[in-house]
Amino acid sequence: MSQPYQGRHRHASSHGRKASRSSGLTKAIRRPAVTSSMLLAVIATTAAGYQAADQRQTGAAAFTVSTEAIAQANELADAQIEDTARLAADRNNTNASIAAAQEKDRVAAVAAEQAAAKARREEAKKVAREKARKALAAKKQAILANAQADPRAAAQALLPEFGFDESQWSCLDNLWMGESGWRYTAENSSSGAYGIPQSLPGSKMATIASDWRTNPVTQIRWGLKYIKSSYGTPCGAWSAWQSRSPHWY
């Protein structure tokens, strides 16, 4: 079978196309850096597009998360502020309570110390009074024991027993000086009156003690009792004595 006629020019044209493809490949091979750069640029551009899209999406998501985080942070901050305020208030209340308790304890301690000091002062006064009373009693006892030698001192010591103070002493002194001269053995020969107060009869003084004849203290006590019941005071008796003539009371 015979081959179709291809002609010279058709063959040349076909060969030329093959050469053109080979030439393009050859040129591409000869310029690998340019081709690679272009390829990388295209890839980079495409990737950049995707990356930009991803960044826009990620940015939106990040913005959403940040807003929520801020809201949560605000809530936490508010809660922390409230907790801080509450804790501060609790501390203030606690400090106030502690201060009040300390002040109460201080006041109680001061009051207790004042009460104790007052009790000590009262006790000291009581001891001093008791000491003074005992000293006075001892002194009085010594004076009464010496009554025969000094009946005036005995009479002065006995005035308080009947409610008389020192203002009555001069009246009593004048009265009994006029009656007996303060002699416990004085006796009126005409009337029988006896002793310092001139009891009539002298035996009346036995209502005080049986030693009325020799004990000036018995006589003085009887005389002061009589004056109080009859004249109220020694000055009342002295006034009556002076108004009478002859004098008596």
pLDDT in tens, the chain (249 residues): 444 444 444 444 444 444 444 444 344 444 444 444 443 443 444 444 444 445 554 444 444 557 888 888 888 888 889 888 988 898 889 999 999 999 999 999 999 999 999 999 999 999 999 999 999 899 999 999 999 999 999 999 999 999 999 999 999 999 999 999 999 999 999 999 999 999 999 999 999 999 999 999 999 999 999 999 999 999 999 999 999 999 999
Residues 187 and 209 both lie in one domain: yes
In this structure, the answer to whether residues 129 and 212 fall within a common structural domain is: no
Q: Are residues 239 and 162 in the same domain?
A: yes
Note whether residue 185 is domain-resident: yes
Residues 155 and 129 placed together within one structural domain of the fold: no
| Domain range enclosing 226 | 151-243
**Assigned domain for 214 exists:** yes
Does residue 83 form part of some domain? Answer: no
CA dihedral 173, 178, 182, 188 (to 10 degrees): -150
Judgement on whether residues 163 and 228 belong to the same structural domain of the protein: yes
The last residue of one of the domains, among 78, 112, 145, is: 145
The residue among 118, 145, 172 that closes a domain is 145
Residue 68 lies in a domain: no
pTM recorded for the entire structure? 0.56
The reply to whether 187 falls in a domain is yes
Residue 67 in any domain: the answer is: no
Label residue 81 exposed, middle or buried (CB < 10 Å: 0-12, 13-18, 19+): exposed
Whether 176 and 118 share a structural domain: no
User: How many domains, in total, are found in the chain?
Assistant: 2
Among the candidates 145, 174, 204, a domain finishes at 145
* 237 and 161, same domain (yes or no): yes
Per DSSP, the chain holds a count of helices (H) and strands (E) of: 6, 0
* Tokens, residue 242: 């002076």
